Amino acid sequence: MTPDGHSELGAIVLAGGRSTRMGTPKALLDWHGAPLVRRVTGLLARVASPVVVVHAAGQELPSLPGVELVVDEHPGRGPLEGIAAGMRALRGRCDAAFVSSVDVPLLHPRFVRSVAGALNGHDVALPVADGHNHPLSAAYRISLLEVVERLLAEDRLRPAFLFDESSVRRLENGEIDEPGSLRNLNTPEDYAAALAEPEPQIEVEAFGTLRERLGFSRTTVPAATVGHAVERLDGLAELLPHTLVALNGERFHADPQTPLVAGDRLSVLTAEAGG
Amino acid sequence: MSTIGGGFGRYLRVDLDRGVAEPVSIPDGVRRAFIGGAGLGAWLLTSAETAGEPVAFVFSPLVGTPLTTSAKFAVVARSPLTGLLNDALASSHFALQGKMTGHDAIVLVGTAPEPSVVVIDADGTSLEPAGDLWGLPAAEAEQRLRDRLGKGYRAAAIGPAGEALVPFATVSHDGRHAGRGGHGAVLGSKNVKAVAVRGRMRVPLADPDRVMELAADLRTRSFGPATEKYRELGTLANLLAFNALNTLPTRNFQAASFEDAAALSAEQAADLKQRTRHYCASCTIGCGHIYEAGNGNGARLEYENAFALGPLCGVGDPAAVIEASRRCDELGIDTISAGGTIAFAMECAERGLLDAPWLRFGSGEALLRALDEIGSGEGIGPLLRMGSRRLAQQLGGDAPSFAPHVKGMELPGYEPRTLQSMAVGLAVNARGADHNRSGAYEADFSQRVDRLHGGSASVAAAIDTEDNAALIDSMILCKFLRGVFTDARIEWATLLNAVTGCNYDAEELGEVAERIVTTKKLFNVSHGWTPDTDTLPDRFLDEPLETAAGTTVTLPRERLAAMVREYNLRRGWDEQGYPQVEAKDLVPA
C-alpha cells in the first residue's frame, strides 16, 4: 500500500446471493468456528486492502472487523451487478480486486496471491478447472468498471460477456497455488462434505514463561480459527488477557473467529512487552 | 513551609565553582504542576536559578514511602549526546538517602576545581578530593567511598568513560545505571566522580495510614501475572518473541530477525547460565537476572543490552554478549548506544568507509575489542566514543543514512518498520530515540493499531504512552508495574493523593503530563532543536524490510511525516512542532 492508502489489490466478496439450493444464507454458515463470510473476508484481508462485502439490503451479517459493506442495489441480476457495486467502492483506491464468492471455506491466501499475481498486464486473471471458468475466484482490474456498467445497461449480465471484451489470462490448475481454494458449496450435501474436512494443522510456538505454563515450546493443533487454537491449547484460555497471540509474526489477533489456514504459525507470548 | 506531602519544598543548589551549597525553595504550585522526578527536573532546567550547565538529581513524592518500586531518582541535564534535554532514571538506595537529606532534588552547577566527590549529609555539603578514585569503575569507587565515609552513605558515581567525557557514559549506583544520554560525561566535565548522600529526615505523608494500605495492595498485585515475565525471566524474555515478530533489530537494522536468537534467549540462558536474581531497593518484582560471564564474573543481562551487543552486532555467542555487558558496566557506558555505535561501525567497516578490517558483524572478539578501545581511547576508540551521529558525520559519504540514531541517541531494540506507532514515538520524543519515554510499542503489540501501516491510531498511542511515561517517571514508579493498573491515571491519582494530599484526579494528571512534555520541548526549542530532526534515519524510510515470514514492510517517508504532523497538531503545537506557549505560562499561578 502507498502512503496515501492506494493499494495494488483490493477484494470484493459477493455475499448477497439467494442461496436457493442451500436453503439457508451461505454467508452465515459456520465452518469450524466462524461464519463463512467472516472466514473469507478475514483471509482476503491478509493479502488485499480494502475488503468490501457486497450484500443485499437488510441482509443479516456478523461482525466483520475492518471490512466495508456495500449494498447491491439490484439484487437478483447476477454477479456482474455485485462486482460493479464493489468496483465503485474501490475505484481510485486500488488497481485491481480479487472477487470472491462467500462459499469457499478452503480459500487460501496463497491462492489469491497467485491469481492476482497472474494479472500482469491483463484485465482479468481467471482460474479454469475441468473446463469451467471460475469468475468468482478471479482477479479483475478496476478499470473494467466502465465496461461492466455498459454490459449491465445492455442487460448482458453474464461474466462471459465481460471476458469477451477484455484481456483474460486463463489459469489452469497447475498454474496456481492451493487450487483447492476453488471448492465452493451449493447444496446441503456440499456443506456437509466440507464440514467433514479436517481443520488445518497450525504450528504454535510459546515464548517466555508461557512455555512452562503451557507445557510446550512448539506444538501443532488442528484449528480453523484462533478461537479453536486457544481452546485446544490446555491452559491458554485462562492466561488471557496477559497473553498475546500473533499470526505469522505479523498482526495480533484477539478475535476468536480470526480464520486460520494450513501453514499458519501462531506465536503465543506475554502481553507485557517492555524492557 | 510547604503544605504538600511527599517532599520538602526545596532543592539543594550546589555551586561547584565556589564549593558552596544552599537550599532553594520550590513553590507548591510547581510541585503540584510537575510532581517530581523527570517532570520537576524539566522545570528545574528551565529555572533561572540553575544557570551553569546544571545536572539535577531529582527525587519524587513516592520515594521513601513503602510503595513498591518507588526508590527511584531521575538525573536530568542537557545531554552531550543530543545537545537536548535528557532525563535518565535509576533505582537504588541513593534515591532514599538522597531524599532523606531533606531535599526534593540536588542540583549541581559549575565545575569543581579538581576531581571531587560531593558529600551531602546532616552536617551539610562538602567537596572532597577524589584523585584516588579517578579511573576506577563506578562500583569500585562506590565501595571505597562507603569504606571511607561509612556504611550509611550511598553514592552515585561515574566510571572511566564519564571521566573521559564519552557522550554515552552513565551514572550508576548499586549496579543500576541512569544510562541513556551521557550524564556520566556531564558529571565528568564537572570534575565530579560521585555524589555521596546520607539522610536522616523522614518523608512527610498526607495520609500515612492510607499510604500503608495502598502499599500493601500494590505489593500484593506486584506478585501477579502482570509482572510474571519480569520476575521469572526478566526483560530478556523479549528477545525470542521479538525475533518471531520481526521486530528484533539485527546487524545495524538490516534485518529484524536473527538466526542465533535462541542461543541468546532467556528461555535458554535461564537454564544454562543464570546465577541469581537482583531486586532494586524497595522493589518486590526483582527483574534483574545476573548471568555467568564465564570467567567468574557475573553480569546483568536485560533485553536492551542483549539486543544491542548481540543481534545488532550480529553476535550470537552468549558468553561474548554477557562479557560485553560486564565491560560496559565497568566502563560506565550505555549499552544501547555502545552496541548501536559499534554495529554502525561494523557496517561502515564492511562497506569500506572505516579502516578497521577486524571489525565485522558476528565477531564476539571484535565486539569486545571495540569496547576495550572505547575504554582506552586507542585504535578506533576515539571514533567510537563519538556515538553514531558524529561518527557518521566524520566518515561522510552515505554513512549518515544508516547511522542508527534520532537526534544523536541510538535506537533501542524495537524495529520501527514493523512497529509503526513506536516509529512515531522514536521520531518525536524529546530525548531522542528511546523506549522508556515513548512506550508506543505497547500499542503495536496489541490489536489497537496496524503496526505495519501506522495511521491516526498509532499517533494517538504515541501521545498516550508518552504522557503516561511522563507521569510514571515523575511520581516515580517502575514501568514494569504498569500492567497491574487497570485504570492507571485514576489509581496513580489515588497513590499521589495519599502521599501529597493534592487531590489530583485523572484529568489533572493528563494536564500535568502535557505540561511536562511541552516543557521538555520548549527546552529543546531553545537549545537547537529543529523540526527536521523529528524523523528516523533514511534507512527506515528508504529501505524495505524483508521479514523472515517472506513479506516486505515499508515505512514511507510521507507516512511518517504525516504522523509526526498529526502528533504535533494533537499536542496543540504548530504542525512543525513548535509549542504555542512559553515556559512561564505552563506553571499555574
**Nearest residue in A to B235, CA atom:** A275
pLDDT at B456: 97
Which ipTM score applies to this complex?
Answer: 0.80
Q: What cell does A20 get?
A: 436457493
Q: Which residue has the cell 505523608?
A: B205
- Cβ separation B549–A275 shorter than 8 A: no
Per-residue pLDDT at A18: 78
- Region A84-103: mean pLDDT is 97
- Which of A2, A273, A275 has its CB closest to that of B304? A275
pLDDT for A3: 45
Secondary structure (DSSP) of B486-518:
SSHHHHHHHHHHHHH-----HHHHHHHHHHHHH
C-alpha cell at B95: 534515591
Closest alpha carbon within chain A to B483 = A272
Task: Say what the pLDDT of residue A137 is.
Answer: 97
The answer to whether B270 contacts chain A (CB < 8 Å) is no
Q: A131: buried, middle or exposed (CB in 10 Å: 19+, 13-18, 0-12)? A: exposed
Question: Could B233 and A209 be called an inter-chain contact, meaning their C-beta atoms sit closer than 8 Å?
Answer: yes
Question: B442 vs chain A: nearest CA distance in angstroms?
Answer: 7
* Nearest Cα residue to B448 out of B470, B422, B427: B422
CB contact under 8 A, A252 and B439: no
Residues of A in contact with B559 (CB under 8 A): 3
Contact A208 B237 (CB under 8 A): yes
Task: Say if A188 is an interface residue toward chain B (CB within 8 Å).
Answer: no
Q: Cα-flanking dihedrals φ and ψ of residue B483, to 5°?
A: -70, -15
The answer to whether A43 touches A31, Cβ cutoff 8 Å, is no
Query: How confident is the model at residue B275, as a pLDDT?
Result: 62
Which of B229, B245, B441 comes nearest A249 by C-beta? B245
| Cβ pair A251:B450 closer than 8 A | yes
B456 touches chain A (CB under 8 A): no
| Tens-place pLDDT, residues B223-234 | 887 787 787 788
pLDDT given for residue B413 in this prediction: 97
Tell me which residue of B106, B189, B88 sits closest to B431, measured CA to CA: B88
Model confidence over B388-411: pLDDT tens digits? 999 999 999 999 999 999 999 999
- Between chains, do B442 and A239 touch, taking CB under 8 Å as contact? no
A199 vs A274, residue with greater confidence: A199
Instruction: Provide the chain B residues 40-69 that lie in CB contact (below 8 A) with chain A.
Output: none
* Residues across chain B: 589
Whether residue B132 has pLDDT greater than 60: yes
CA distance B415 to B257: 10
pLDDT confidence of residue B274:
60
More confidently predicted of B395 and B485: B395
Which residues of chain A lie closer than 8 angstroms to B439, CB-CB? 274
pLDDT(A4) > 70: no
Tally of CA atoms within 13 A in the half-sphere of A135 that contains its CB: 16
Between positions 431 and 450 of B, the ones with CB within 8 A of A are 435, 439, 441-442, 445-447, 450
Please compute the mean of the pLDDT values over residues B279-286 and round it to a whole number: 78
State the pLDDT confidence band at A127, using cuts at 50, 70 and 90.
Answer: very high
Contact with chain A for residue B222, Cβ under 8 A: no
Rounded to 5 degrees, what angle do the CA atoms B301, B303, B307 make? Answer: 100
Asked if B190 and B235 touch (Cβ cutoff 8 Å), the reply is no
Q: What confidence category does residue B273 fall into, taking pLDDT thresholds of 50, 70 and 90?
A: low
**What's the pLDDT at B270?**
58
Best to test chain A binding among B419, B435, B447, B560 (most A CBs inside 10 Å): B447
Among all chains, which residue has been given the C-alpha cell 531533606?
A: B102
Residues near A73 by beta carbon (within 8 Å), at least 6 away in sequence = A57, A81, A85
Looking at the complex, does the CB of residue B486 fall below 8 Å from at least one CB of chain A?
A: no
Q: Say if B246 is an interface residue toward chain A (CB within 8 Å).
A: yes
Report CB contact under 8 Å: A205, B244: yes
Q: Which three cell numbers stand for residue B283?
A: 522493589
B451–A contact, CB cutoff 8 A = yes
B457 touches chain A (CB under 8 A): no
Considering only CB atoms, A249 lies closest to which of B232, B238, B244, namely: B244
For residue B534, what pLDDT band results from cuts at 50, 70 and 90?
Answer: very high
Q: Which band of pLDDT confidence, cut at 50, 70 and 90, is reported for residue B57?
A: very high
Note the pTM of the prediction, 2 decimals. 0.91
B232 touches chain A (CB under 8 A): yes
CB pairs under 8 A between A and B: 102
Q: Which of A217, A270, A274 sits opposite B439 (nearest CB)?
A: A274
Mean pLDDT, residues A252-269 taken together: 91
- Tens of pLDDT, residues B560-574: 999 999 999 999 999
Is the predicted pLDDT of residue B146 greater than 80, yes or no? yes
Between CA B182 and CA B78 the distance in angstroms is 9
Q: Does residue A66 register a pLDDT over 50?
A: yes
| Total number of residues shown for chain A | 275
Q: What is the mean pLDDT of residues B2-22?
A: 94
Question: Coil, helix or strand for A148?
Answer: helix
Phi, psi at B90, each rounded to 5°: -145, 160
Confidence at residue B519, expressed as pLDDT on a 0 to 100 scale: 96
State mean pLDDT over A106-120: 96
Is B93 near chain A, with CB under 8 Å?
no
CB contact under 8 A, B233 and A208: yes
Measured between beta carbons, which residues in chain A are less than 8 angstroms from residue B479? 274
Q: Annotate B304-357 with DSSP letters as a single string.
A: HHHHHHTGGGT---HHHHHHHHHHHHHHTB-HHHHHHHHHHHHHHHHTTSSS-T
Give the pLDDT band (50/70/90) at residue A64. Answer: very high
What per-residue confidence (pLDDT) applies to B143?
95
* Lowest mean pLDDT segment, chosen from A199-208, B49-58, B462-471: B49-58
Q: Does A32 touch chain B (CB under 8 A)?
A: no
B155, pLDDT greater than 60: yes
